[in-house]
């Protein structure tokens, strides 16, 4: 069927290079077919070469354009294996092509005439244009290579389904974990001043203006709290919330807000650490989200009855503050110049030339 389809599309196929077996290697990636899973082995040396290239830009104002071309090509290939990194491909190529366009149009030459240093820099590009994407990719690859072998489940019905339901108030966050539609875990975390300082929303802490942020943070905290349970479930996790902001950030893993952009990046890396290949965001009306809502408002526990779904379920509470070491990436507080909104990250190159 595959060969006939390719022939119908006019694609040339080299049968001499084909391989058909329970274990095959394709452009550096090994696939091993078992009874109900496919095991994919990541190309370790290829990934190490990309990491070495990216780390070579540390603390550099400019770097060779040929290195950017190499990094973009390697990332384009790698994103076919690690889909969560696919969004970076367009950013790397956009920086590359805009730089080439500037050189071809003479814009770079005109800028050079206005600089005190008039040396020719046509073969270089400003590293700062890619700093946020570079930091994310280095952290992502570090986490990804902790699992050099990926197991893709074929008979998904043999594995339990998982759903995380979250809710938040300006002062608290609540979540429940359902395995095969049965509540098995619950958490109730406070929104602390340290959270606000680390994530850059101190000015709106404990006010309604922070609602979208804490709703999204609740999703991230649930993923971190229940990573062990989620590893044994299906590859796609359903996330339910009554917050459209939280759901949109969870689905896109980015946001026009600087703080939410950081949380979205953390969610992507946390999913990679767990082995979640996809997130399915589902909106539920606030009136139907009563259990998670109860957990997010501990100040009302004395006056409200415990929901029947939580009877016999231990509720996990906060243990210590969530400082910068809690996250994979440098937080907006520890790296204020790094984190931008997704909109600013997409448009920054023009202003940085």
Rounded Cα distance between 32 and 134, Å, is 31
Note every long-range contact of 72-81, with CB atoms under 8 Å and residues 24 or more positions apart, other chains counting.
Answer: 72/96, 74/46, 74/49, 74/50, 75/50, 75/137, 77/27, 77/46, 78/46, 78/47, 78/50, 81/29, 81/40, 81/42, 81/43
Q: Which secondary-structure segment (H or E) carries 179? A: strand 172-179
Is a pLDDT exceeding 70 seen at residue 347? no
Instruction: Indicate the pairing of strand 124-126 with strand 182-190.
Output: unpaired
pLDDT (tens digit, 9 = 90+) per residue, 79-88? 888 888 888 8
- Nearest residue to 152 (alpha-carbon basis) of 229, 38, 234: 38
pLDDT (tens digit, 9 = 90+) per residue, 46-76? 999 999 999 999 999 899 999 999 999 999 9
- Nearest residue to 267 (alpha-carbon basis) of 223, 322, 331, 210: 223
Rounded Cα distance between 334 and 134, Å, is 17
Task: Tell me which residue has tokens 């526990």.
Answer: 301
List, as one string, the DSSP characters of 208-269: GGGHHHHHHHHHHHHHHHTHHHHTTS-SEEEEEES-HHHHHHHHHS--SSHHHHHHHHHHHH
Rounded Cα distance between 90 and 349, Å, is 13
Is a pLDDT exceeding 50 seen at residue 348? no
pLDDT (tens digit, 9 = 90+) per residue, 140-196? 999 999 988 888 888 888 899 999 999 999 999 999 999 999 999 999 999 999 999
Q: So what's the pLDDT on residue 345?
A: 55
pLDDT above 70: percentage of residues in the chain = 96
Structural domains of the chain sorted by starting position, each given as residue range(s) with its CATH number in brackets = 2-32 (no CATH), 44-150 (no CATH), 159-329+339-344 (3.30.420.10)
Is a pLDDT exceeding 50 seen at residue 353? no
Average pLDDT, whole number, for the chain?
A: 91
Q: So what's the pLDDT on residue 338?
A: 83
Q: What is the pTM of this model?
A: 0.86
Q: So what's the pLDDT on residue 134?
A: 94
Q: What is the DSSP letter of 71?
A: H
pLDDT (tens digit, 9 = 90+) per residue, 71-117? 999 999 998 888 888 888 988 999 999 999 999 999 989 988 888 88
């Amino acid at each position: 069927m595959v060969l006939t389809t390719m022939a119908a599309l006019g694609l040339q196929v080299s049968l001499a290079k084909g391989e058909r077996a329970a274990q095959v290697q394709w452009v550096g990636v090994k696939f091993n077919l078992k009874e109900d899973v496919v095991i994919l082995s990541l190309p370790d040396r290829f990934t190490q070469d990309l990491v070495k290239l990216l780390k070579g830009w540390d603390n550099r104002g400019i770097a060779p354009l040929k290195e950017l071309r190499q990094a973009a090509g390697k990332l384009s290939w790698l994103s076919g294996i690690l889909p969560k990194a696919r969004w970076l491909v367009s950013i790397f190529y956009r920086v590359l092509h805009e730089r080439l366009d500037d050189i071809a149009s003479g814009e770079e030459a005109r800028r050079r005439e206005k600089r005190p240093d008039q040396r020719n820099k046509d073969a270089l590009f400003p590293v700062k244009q890619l700093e946020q994407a570079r930091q994310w990719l280095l952290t992502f690859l570090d986490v990804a290579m902790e699992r050099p072998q990926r197991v893709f489940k074929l008979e998904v019905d043999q594995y339990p389904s998982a759903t995380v339901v979250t809710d938040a108030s300006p002062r608290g966050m609540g979540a429940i974990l359902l395995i095969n539609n049965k509540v098995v875990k619950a958490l109730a975390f406070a929104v602390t001043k340290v959270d606000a300082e680390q994530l850059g929303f101190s000015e709106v802490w404990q006010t309604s203006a922070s609602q979208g942020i804490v709703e999204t943070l609740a999703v991230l905290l649930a993923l971190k709290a229940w990573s062990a349970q989620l590893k044994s479930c299906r590859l796609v996790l359903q996330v339910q919330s009554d917050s459209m902001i939280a759901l949109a950030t969870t689905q896109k893993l980015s946001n026009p807000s600087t703080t939410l952009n950081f949380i979205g990046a953390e969610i992507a890396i946390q999913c990679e650490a767990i082995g979640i290949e996809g997130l399915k965001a589902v909106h539920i009306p606030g009136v139907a989200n009563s259990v998670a809502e109860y957990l997010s408002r501990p100040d009302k526990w004395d006056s409200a009855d415990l929901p029947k779904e939580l009877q016999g379920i231990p509720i996990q509470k906060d243990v210590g503050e969530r400082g910068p070491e809690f996250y994979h990436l440098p937080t907006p507080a520890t790296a204020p110049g790094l984190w931008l909104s997704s909109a600013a990250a997409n448009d920054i190159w023009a202003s940085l030339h």
